[in-house]
A and B are shown apart, each in its own frame.
Chain A
Amino acid sequence: MPALEFEKPIADLETRIEELKAYGSSSNVDMTEELALLEKRLERLRSETYDKLTRWQRVQLARAPGRPTALDYIGKVFTDYQELHGDRAYGEDAAIVGGLARLDGQAVVIIGQQKGRDTKENIARNFGMAHPEGFRKAMRLMDLADKFGLPLITLVDTPGAYPGIAAEERGQAWLIAQSIQKMTRLRIPVISVVIGEGGSGGALAIAVGNRVLILENAVYSVISPESCAAIVWRDAKEAAKAAEALRLTAKDLAEFDIVDEIIPEPKGGAHNDPAGSSDELKKALLKHLAQMHGMDKPALLASRAERFRKLGVFEEIA
């Protein structure tokens, strides 16, 4: 897996350790002491890097190639996934996947924004950027969950809704608005998890849950750092500055109650240990589903409304 720019010193050291190990076993020179030293240094370097990531580094981790996608988590966290296709009106949007699955035996409906795992797949999935038909597909899966009283799990991972001519022609704004509205009406437990990139309205369209969780290195923002930088400094290269200003990390969002819980990732990020982060995700989903167990339909509706009613920071004028 290619290392991110700020991970290069770690990757370099790892390579040197491997080389030293190989040399030690192929010769009679004892390298135990040297290796121990280097291992210690590696541990320190890892801590130094990952314990104080800048916001921009988090953005890079959230978008890291090899970071588990929605389908990766679906495969590891759930069983019996049956993907369902199409929006029943216009077409099939591969940027949003979904269907039926089981979570520890409990049947659920899943909706996920799906980025590609390589260039070819990214093109097929439009980099996880949905068109209106994608949101319409999400909405019909929501209806399915609601009709059969199944919990809904949504996995958010998109740079945003696709800003193209056809998308606008087919009513992008309307479909996002309708999807949000649909989620306000669901009489089932809904858990939304930001697993990578939560890009603006396209993310919110499937993220109006009773619970909104976020993975430790995921980000959620009203605008991408690049777009923000382009507006403010007329230069997308100032994205690092914009990322700081936008306060888009899991920790930032928890401070404003925009997310309810941060799901820990293994050191180095989910892409370094997909199995580990899947376990953490599963634990969190089971915990929150258990908390909502037995709530009746009006209570599920009311508690979701109440959750969002409180969001916002302003001052009352006396």
Chain B
Amino acid sequence: MTLERFFRRRPPQQKENMANDDLPDLWSKCPKCNAQVYNKELEQNLRVCPKCGYHHRIPVKRRIEGLLDMGSFQVTSGKVKAKDPLEFVDTDTYVAKLERARKKTGRESAVYAGRGTLAGLPVVVCVMDFEFAGGSMGSSEGEEITRAIELASQEDRSMILVTASGGARMMEGALSLMQMAKTTFALEQLADKGLPYITILADPTTGGVAASFAAIGDIVIGEPDALIGFAGQRVIEQTVRQSLPDGFQRSEFYEKKGFIDMVVDRRQHRETLANLIAALRNQAKPEVTALEIKVPEPPRTGLFGRRK
């Protein structure tokens, strides 16, 4: 790992399209290396920049496609929806915020989970969706995660949990906080049955999510450059009244500090998980069909650069 990579900060999310009005979005500009990347190529790389390795956020369904055996996934989440127990109102009502999150994602909570196989190994995969209210954890998220873990215990499956969350959801007050304990209790049942629990910490994993189920995987994997930590960076800056060093609270930082096992490129998650799970369950090394990365023939330059 080069120092430059270690210390770089995530540039602001942006997307620039070079396409003409009558053409689909074919190209994206990488916010880190500025390369023009063919969108199809970006998708085939699970939204990792093929030039520099920058990890864009990835939709939850796409992530699961990139992890599990094709066609093996059966969704089990979507059984509960949030209420507004505090009748929380700030600049807007919580109910209105939830409605927007539902519209945006087509889901009832920030958790998407189900059963499937990974290189033939039975697993439950649970993914937090940052697009739904910043992946924040309220009662329904805590319940979905708990049920996913319980499902793994019941069906003798290994548990994979991918986190992307700003932490506990403020609008449900201490009820959100309690989800940290509730989910952890469920993990104890899993542990009693000797089933592996592996967490993948995606950008960002902070607050009450970092400080509960994310941190206590049997194996904890960080996605490259993901922001991880208990306190938010603004809060820390205000507390200590100094600016934070580059690379602070990133995956690579915590690997170096001894808190995560490894930083793994998203394109290697499938193979890494298969090997880890098989080893933990003392099963034969699985055949992992590698993720197909076919780089399509790029169109001739100039064709799409021209404007009408």
Contact = CB atoms under 8 A, between A and B. Distances in A.
Report whether chain A binds chain B: yes
B187 interface: yes
B170 A223 contact: yes
Contacts of A172: 211, 229-231
Contacts of A227: 235
B301 interface: no
B83 interface: yes
A308 B216 CA distance: 18
B140 A200 contact: no
A196 to B, nearest CB: 15
Given A308-B182, A311-B182, A246 B173 contact: yes
Interface residues of B, number: 65
Question: Which applies to chain A's interface (DSSP): helix, strand, loop or mixed?
Answer: helix
Contact of A247 (B86, B182, B207, B231): B86
Q: Which of A223, A242, A252, A314 has the most CB of B within 10 A?
A: A314
A309 B89 contact: no
Given A165-B248, A180-B180, A312 B210 contact: no
Interface stretch (B30-38, B74-82, B119-127): B74-82
A305 interface: yes
B280 to A, nearest CB: 18
A171 B184 contact: no
Contact of B89 (A167, A201, A245): A245
Nearest to A169: B257
A176 interface: yes
Q: How large is the interface on A (under 10, 10 to 19, 20 to 34, 35 or more residues)?
A: 35 or more
Interface in A139-185: 161-165, 167-174, 176-178, 180-181, 183-185
A162 B181 CA distance: 20
Contacts, number: 193
Interface stretch (A40-48, A228-236, A277-285): A228-236
Contact of A312 (B139, B170, B254): B139
A298 to B, nearest CB: 11
B41 interface: no
Contacts of B143: 312, 314
A200 B207 CA distance: 9
A222 interface: yes
B178 A168 contact: no
Nearest to B234: A230
B182 A309 contact: yes
A173 B184 contact: no
Contact of B179 (A162, A174, A246, A312): A312
Contacts of A222: 168-170, 172-174, 176-177, 208
A165 B173 contact: no
Contacts of B146: 309
B142 A184 contact: no
B290 to A, nearest CB: 32
Contact of A308 (B88, B178, B187): B178
Interface string B79-108: 111110110111100000000000000001
B179 to A, nearest CB: 6
A177 B212 CA distance: 4
Contacts of A185: 188
Q: Which of B89, B143, B181, B206 has the most CB of A within 10 A?
A: B181
15 contacts: A164-B236, A168-B231, A177-B213, A180-B212, A201-B168, A208-B184, A221-B174, A222-B208, A232-B91, A246-B173, A256-B175, A308-B185, A313-B175, A315-B82, A316-B79
Interface of A: 161-165, 167-174, 176-178, 180-181, 183-185, 198, 200-201, 204-205, 208, 220-223, 227-228, 231-233, 242, 245-248, 252-253, 256, 258, 304-305, 308-309, 311-317
Given A198-B174, A228-B170, A317-B81, 4 more contacts: A161-B231, A165-B248, A201-B207, A246-B170
Closest 7 CB pairs of A and B: A163-B231, A312-B139, A177-B215, A173-B210, A313-B85, A176-B211, A173-B230
